[in-house]
Amino acid sequence: MSVAPGQGPVGLGSFAGRLERLVHARQSSLVLGLDPDPDRLWTGARDAGRGVAPGPRSPAASAALAVAAHCRAVIAAAGAACVAVKPQLACFERLGAPGWEALEATCDAARGAGLLVLADGKRGDVPVTAAAYAQALVGSVPTPYGPVAGLGADAFTANPLLGRDALEPLVRAAREAGAGVFILVRSSNPGAGELQDRPLASGGTLAEALARVVADLGGTPESPSGLGAVGAVVGATAPAQLARLRALMPHSVLLLPGIGAQGGRIEDLAVAWSRGPASALVSASRSIAGAAPEPGGSEADAARRAAEELRAAAWSLAGRGAGGDKIAAQ
């Protein structure tokens, strides 16, 4: 079931404000990535797809039931250590209409656990299509039969390579909904440097040029520590670039994927929190959901332990961020 835009689990208001309150309440800057593979689900979740149905069930419907059960179980195990979930939309959309239902069920479970929802689809297209993407993620669609609510995400990721005019409808819709948008600046995949680190004739790299666009679109800060609705995706696998990108985007929340399975290390990311504990979010998926159980332990126990270890490691850096004590006292 979708929710009204901007109605996050900790109340109305700006995304940056909601995030800041939740980060301090949970002493966490950790985001739980959810990239469910129907072939690699937790044992109990696989059984959910084989349950008795009143009639014939398609493979897509069975897989979607199992995916939803898996995501609910991972949230139940690891969610207390996190401030948000980041469902990878492609992992749900590949199952067709039942997959979108599984996504909505996953978002409902996250909200029930008091978590923000960061929809990870890296949407980007010409302005008219970008506006449609925004309606699907944080808005609603007017129709002759009444409005159709979108996913109601607290934030989403966006691809900037079509230019500023294609980003503006996404940013505008996010602000109207009290949501956030994370624009891709420097990704965590091994081939990212081929284009994103390429020098430009005007000076700097493509990633730095994208960072300037993010800062320009950010507008007026919306939280007590000066954070805004327009954040950036900056891979944890390129820590040498982090100080420069943070300097270019002083008011942006940085979403840092690539910890664990992709080789990124939390201890290399301290500069990301220079604006305070909510100014950066560490995202982890496989290193939590795929954590190896101890002998006699369960998948849920392993995920819970892995999430808490990551939360503590990130907070040891984030909790010392500039302005953290001031915000915590409010």
Is 86 catalytic? The answer is no
Give yes or no for a contact between 30 and 307, defined as CB atoms under 8 angstroms apart: yes
Q: What is the separation of C-alpha 144 from the centre of its chain, rounded to a whole number of angstroms?
A: 33
Catalytic residue among 122, 175, 186, 304: 122
Beta strands in 96-187 (DSSP E): 116-123, 140-141, 148-149, 155-158, 180-186
Beta strands in 278-326 (DSSP E): 280-284
Structure tokens at 90: 């492609």
Give yes or no for a contact between 150 and 6, defined as CB atoms under 8 angstroms apart: no
The span from the CA of 167 to the CA of 217, in Å, is 9
The span from the CA of 325 to the CA of 307, in Å, is 24
The span from the CA of 163 to the CA of 171, in Å, is 13
The span from the CA of 24 to the CA of 13, in Å, is 16
The CB density around residue 35, as the number of other CB atoms within 10 Å, is 17
Active-site amino acid positions: 122
